[in-house]
Each structure stands twice: as structure tokens, then as C-alpha cells.
Amino acid sequence: MLFFSTVYLAMVLVIFWSYCGYLIFLYLSAIFSNEEPAASTTLQAGKEVMHVVVACYNESEMILQKVRNLEELSFPAERLRVTFVDGQSTDRTRELLQAAIADKPGWSLLVSPEKGKIHQLNHFLDSTPDAEYVMCTDADAILQPDAPAKLFNVMLDNEDVGVVGAHISPKNGLAVDEHFWSDQNNVRQFESRVHSAFIVVAPCYLFRASVLRRFPDDCVADDVYAAFKANSTGWRVLQVQDAFGFELRNPGTMSEYFRHKFRKVNAFVMELLRFSYRFPTFPGKFKIIYASKIFQILISPWLVFLFFPATLSLILSRGSLRDLAGMSVLFLFVSMLVSSLIMKAGRRSFITAAGPTQKKGMILVTFFLNNFIMLWAGACFPFYRQDCSYRKCRAAAPRQETGAIETTVVCAGR
């Protein structure tokens, strides 16, 4: 009986830390932290140049929209270089780009010898050895005009910061996806206040070339690798809460959502394990953050689905085991309520511009669906490998407030 009680209690504590304790730790630490990045809208005076790189492949439907968005940035033209890196597109992407940027000083188009985002980014980095500050942004990302200046100011103000990311939300996505992005943005903001965000997101992030001169050829998720590389070598990673942007391509069906998140989790685990050998050298606070992600991604999804039958079997037993199960359920329920209040407080504190609307009733759906995806991705990880050429989603049509049927998302090759 002692053995089963100990194993059950250990399972409860791991679940608690993964889904509640870590967030409570971040919240309490953030209260006493002075590390929140300040983001000024006006770019600081200086000579530093920011290189913006957009990896694109068969983007004829939205590439001109991306060009217009970059034209609207509140960033001095003399300090901005914009490079589109085409990955052997088979549509009119290159033709449209050549015409659109022909009269723009500092704007250029490169053609990568290989398709795949990582190869395209490496082609840019190899071709531009003088680039000191590099902002990666996707073709389907629409940024607020002042977002890049805010990212740049935070990096210039903080010499220990190697990567900064924007606050990105999905546009016209599924409710479950909007809820997921909102919560993840919240957690990254807490992490930024405490010490360092675990990751940034691909639609828009800025890094120092001294942190990262090239991506490994087997890398799949450039945003995850960049953040891991910075964190593992002593740099801080920050999410700037009021540097806003939107991602236009998002899953439009539940099956597409599952495939999309499965690929994301697989890429995340690849980078999580790539840097595991450096754990003893991580800064103290980042060790806590890294270990918590190991629990959240690789361990707790299995324990969540074991918890219910284990708890039911203990409740059906007698004596102290039943009491232990009852107290554990109550403990986790109260912890979940506290975590929910913390997330709600974080949303009020962090989100200061239009973003995804929180839908009631999505907490449990998001929780169980994403845990199942993580469990399945973890089980398949030894047998499944992907590369940086992937299926991407087409942008969904804007929602109609009149109740018209929304356009669903379809897939295209990348």
C-alpha cells in the first residue's frame, strides 16, 4: 500500500507542477521581478541596421500584402534592409516580388538553391555576413507598424538579450487555437518577466547574429532553435507584450489542427532533446523553466490519462487510499482554479491591443485535446521525422459577423 501511495502521490505532484505549480511559480516570481522589458515606439537614435528576412515559397496569393505591410513599418528606411528569400517557387512569387521591390533601396530578392525555410534562412545568413541584427518574419504574418521598432529597442536596451519575439495572435482561427495562442502568449510573458521566455514564435522574432550565425541543416523549427540556442548559451529571450502581429494562416478544421500541432510538438521535442546535454550549464532560473517543459511535453500528458483510472481505483478501495485520492482530486481542482485566475489576470495585464477573443467552455477542450496531441507526438517521436519542407495552411476568409458560413482552411505544399 505504501508503494502505490507513493507512486500515486508522485504522479499528482508532477501533474500539479506541470499545469499549476509552474504557472504559480512564474506569477509569484513576476510580482517581485523588475525584468519586464520596456518597449518604446520611437526607434532609438543610432547607426544600427536591422535586416528583415522573409522566407517564401509559392506565396503569390499573399506576398504583395506582405510587401505592403513591410512598407508601412515605422522604421527609418536608411536603417532597414529587407530581403525575400525564395525557395524555388513554382508560381508567380518571384515575378511579383521583382516588380514590387524594384524601386526600393535596401530591398532585395535572393533565390535559395534549396527549398525549405531552414535552407532559405541559412542561404540569407551565408550571403549576408555583415548582418548584426536579423528579424525573421513569415509571409503570412501581418505586423503592426511599430512592432519591429519595439523589438529593436528592447534588444538595444538589454545587452544580455539575444532574441526577442513579438506578441502574435491567429487571425480568423479556430476557437481552440485562439485559446491556445492566448494562453501561450501569457506564459511567455510571465517567463520574460521572471527571467527568459522559453521560445519565441516564427511569425516575427529578432535575434543577434552573435547568438546564431547558422541553423543546423536538420533543424525544423527555426523559432524554437533560435530561442534554445540563446537560452542555452547564457542569453535571455524576451517576448515584447505590445509588439503585436497576426498570423493569417491557421488550421480551419479539427483534423488540420491536429496535424498542425502534431508537427509543432514533434519539432519542439527535437530541439528540446538537442540541447538536453547542456542542462548542467544552464542559468539557475532557466533550469527550472527547461525542466518544467520536459514535464509538460514528455511526461505529464501520459500521467494525465493515467490519473483518472488510478484515481477511480483508489476511490473504489477503502481506508487511507480512498482518502488520498479524494484529497488529491480536491488539491488539483483548487490548483486549477488558482491557475485559471492567474491566466485571467495575466490576460488583463498583458494584452493591450486587439487579439483573439476568449471563448467560454474552451479550457477543458483545449487542455485535453492538446494533451492528447502531445501524448501521440511523444509516442510517435522515435519513428517519425520531418524536415523543413512542410504542408502549410491557406489563409481563411475573414469571419462574417452576419452569420455567413466561414471559409475553411485547406492545405498546400511547402
**pLDDT tens-digit map of 279-320:** 999 988 899 999 999 999 999 999 999 999 999 988 888 778
| C-alpha dist (Å) from residue 365 to 161, 174, 302, 371 | 36, 12, 17, 10
**pLDDT tens-digit map of 156-181:** 999 999 999 999 999 888 889 988 99
Please name the helix (run of DSSP H) or strand (run of DSSP E) that holds residue 116, with its range, or none.
none
Q: Which of 31-45, 66-80, 288-302, 368-382 has the lowest mean pLDDT?
A: 31-45
98 residue type, one letter? Q
- Per-residue H/E/C for 4-66: HHHHHHHHHHHHHHHHHHHHHHHHHHHHCCCCCCCCCCCCCCCCCCEEEEEEECCCCCCHHHH
Beta bridge partners of 237: 163
Question: For the chain, what percent of residues have pLDDT higher than 90?
Answer: 70
- For residue 22, is pLDDT > 70? yes
Please compute the mean of the pLDDT values over residues 104-123 and round it to a whole number: 94
What is the band of 40 on the pLDDT scale with cuts at 50, 70, 90?
A: low
Neighbours of 200 (CB within 10 A): 28
Report pLDDT for 361. 64
Report pLDDT for 58. 93
What is the band of 406 on the pLDDT scale with cuts at 50, 70, 90?
A: very low
Report pLDDT for 363. 75
> Where would I find the H helices in 138-243?
147-157, 175-194, 222-232
Mean residue pLDDT of the chain comes to 87
Please compute the mean of the pLDDT values over residues 387-391 and round it to a whole number: 70
Report pLDDT for 307. 93
**pLDDT tens-digit map of 174-218:** 889 988 998 899 999 999 999 999 999 999 999 999 999 999 999
Contact call for residues 194 and 35 (beta carbons, < 8 A): yes
How does DSSP assign 156-177, residue by residue? HH-TTEEEEEEEEEESS--HHH
Report pLDDT for 128. 93
What is the band of 394 on the pLDDT scale with cuts at 50, 70, 90?
A: low
Report pLDDT for 353. 45
- For residue 45, is pLDDT > 90? no
Q: Which of 77-86, 265-274, 399-408 has the lowest mean pLDDT?
A: 399-408
Count CA atoms closer than 13 A to 277's CA, side-chain side. 2
Report pLDDT for 385. 86
Contact call for residues 110 and 86 (beta carbons, < 8 A): yes
Report pLDDT for 397. 52
Q: CA angle, 336 as apex, 15 and 36 as ends, to 5°?
A: 95
> Where would I find the H helices in 234-282?
254-274
The structural domains of the chain, ordered by start, are: 50-273 (3.90.550.10)
Contact call for residues 166 and 243 (beta carbons, < 8 A): yes
Report pLDDT for 245. 95
Please name the helix (run of DSSP H) or strand (run of DSSP E) that holds residue 400, with its range, or none.
none
b/e sequence 278-287, b meaning 16+ C-beta within 10 Å: eeeebbeebe
Report pLDDT for 287. 93
Distance, in Å, from the CA atom of 220 to the CA atom of 270, rounded to the nearest integer, reads: 8
pTM: 0.89
Contact call for residues 229 and 211 (beta carbons, < 8 A): yes
